[in-house]
Amino acid sequence: MELSYTIRPARIEDALIIVRQRRRMFEDMGYSDYIQSEGVDAAYLEWVKPRLLDGRCRHWLVQYAGEIVGGGGIEIHERAPHPVGLATHYAHVVGVYIEPEHRRQGLARQLMLTALAFCRESGLNFVTLQASDFGRPLYESLGFEASSEMRLLMRDVHPLQERLPHEYPDD
């Protein structure tokens, strides 16, 4: 009997697997800060669980011989209507990861095609991601293009100081 790979939607019971795969993805990308930060996994677990339940996060897992060997997903975010589209929601691809011994078999492509099909069916016509050097050729082959987006990480602001919009100081 020949074993094959299957892709299935993640369930809330899979949250720890998603957290572990996210950690491995960041380790593969060389994020030593992540590896040294004890609270990141626990904080992400608490963040992702309610989003898996209410649909703001969709994740798919790759199975082989009864074991999870990869996964990836999307986070659904709000945005203002924009000249390139009036949609008020978009998908951000997250956590695409395949165990090293299962790479180079088209699994990340199949995960991405699954996620993009979900986006199409859901009317999410704007999809973003942060590409690693390793993943960039795959994403470009699927039609993703580099954009003018920039970012700033203000290291002097502690994340626990984060406030909700209604708590922002008045000008």
pLDDT of residue 13: 98
The answer to whether 115 and 60 have CB atoms below 8 angstroms apart is yes
The average pLDDT across 115-133 equals 93
The stretch 80-98 carries a mean pLDDT of: 90
- Write down the domain spans for the chain: 5-167
pLDDT surpassing 60 at residue 1: no
Containing 64, the helix (H) or strand (E) segment is strand 57-64
Asked if 118 and 101 count as a contact pair (C-beta separation under 8 A), the reply is: no
| φ, ψ for residue 73, nearest 5 deg | -160, -170
Q: In what order do the strands lie in the sheet with 67-78?
A: 5-9, 57-64, 67-78, 89-98, 127-128
Burial class (CB in 10 A: 0-12, 13-18, 19+), 138: middle
What's the rounded Cα separation, in Å, for the pair 103 and 90?
28
CA–CA gap between residue 17 and residue 69 (Å, rounded):
10
- In this structure, is the dihedral angle defined by the CA atoms of residues 144, 146, 150 and 156, taken in order, positive or negative? positive
Helices assigned H by DSSP within 80-155: 107-122, 136-141
Q: What is the pLDDT of residue 87?
A: 85
Q: Are 60 and 81 in contact (CB under 8 A)?
A: no
Q: Per the CATH hierarchy, to which homologous superfamily does domain 5-167 belong? A: Gcn5-related N-acetyltransferase (GNAT) (3.40.630.30)
- What is the rounded CA–CA span in Å between residue 95 and residue 24? 9
Band of pLDDT at residue 71, cut at 50, 70 and 90:
very high
